[in-house]
């Protein structure tokens, strides 16, 4: 199980797609941040400003990175990275997908 110490968490949730994707932002002492969230079944597209690493900690999803044609199946314990100023489509079929999104240096 992943856990974090010495962090501040925004109590207000980030809610997207009518509540089908929900996350909370975690701020670390050194100035970095992550979001921890849930993705309910559906297909969603996200744009990125900064590069991101999406670690799937429960469930399974399919991911299509913008500008590519290969659909990736990403299950719990796996991750994928997205370039900054880009995006990705994510599909969750029949479970709740839990994730940790890390914002990477540009």
Q: Report domain 7-103's class.
A: mainly beta
Q: What is residue 51's predicted lDDT score, i.e. its pLDDT? A: 97
- At 1, the pLDDT band (50, 70, 90 cuts) reads confident
Q: Which structure tokens are listed for 81?
A: 């990275």
**CA distance to 18, 25, 97, per residue, from 22 (Å):** 9, 10, 11
Residues 6+ apart with CB under 8 A from 68: none
Residue 103 has pLDDT above 90, yes or no: yes
What tens digit of pLDDT does each residue of 34-90 get? 999 999 999 999 999 999 999 999 999 999 999 999 999 999 999 999 999 999 999
The predicted model scores a pTM of 0.94
Q: How confident is the model at residue 7 (pLDDT cuts 50, 70, 90)?
A: very high
Identify the pLDDT of residue 106.
78
| DSSP assignments along the chain, one per residue | -----SEEE-SSPEEEGGGTEEEEEEEETTS-EEEEEEE-SEEEEEEESS-EEEEEEESEEEEEETT--PPEEEETT-EEEE-TTEEEEEEE-SS-EEEEEEEPP-
pLDDT above 90 for 105:
no
């Amino acid at each position: 199980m992943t856990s974090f110490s010495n962090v501040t968490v925004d109590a207000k949730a980030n809610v997207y797609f009518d509540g089908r994707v929900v996350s909370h932002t975690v701020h670390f002492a050194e100035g970095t941040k992550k979001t921890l969230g849930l993705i309910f079944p559906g297909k969603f597209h996200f744009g990125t400003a900064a590069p991101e690493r999406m670690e799937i900690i429960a469930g399974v999803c399919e991911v299509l990175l913008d500008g590519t044609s290969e659909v990736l199946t990403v299950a719990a314990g796996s991750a994928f990275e997205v370039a900054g100023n880009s995006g990705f489509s994510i599909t969750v079929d029949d479970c709740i997908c839990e994730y940790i999104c890390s914002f990477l240096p540009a």
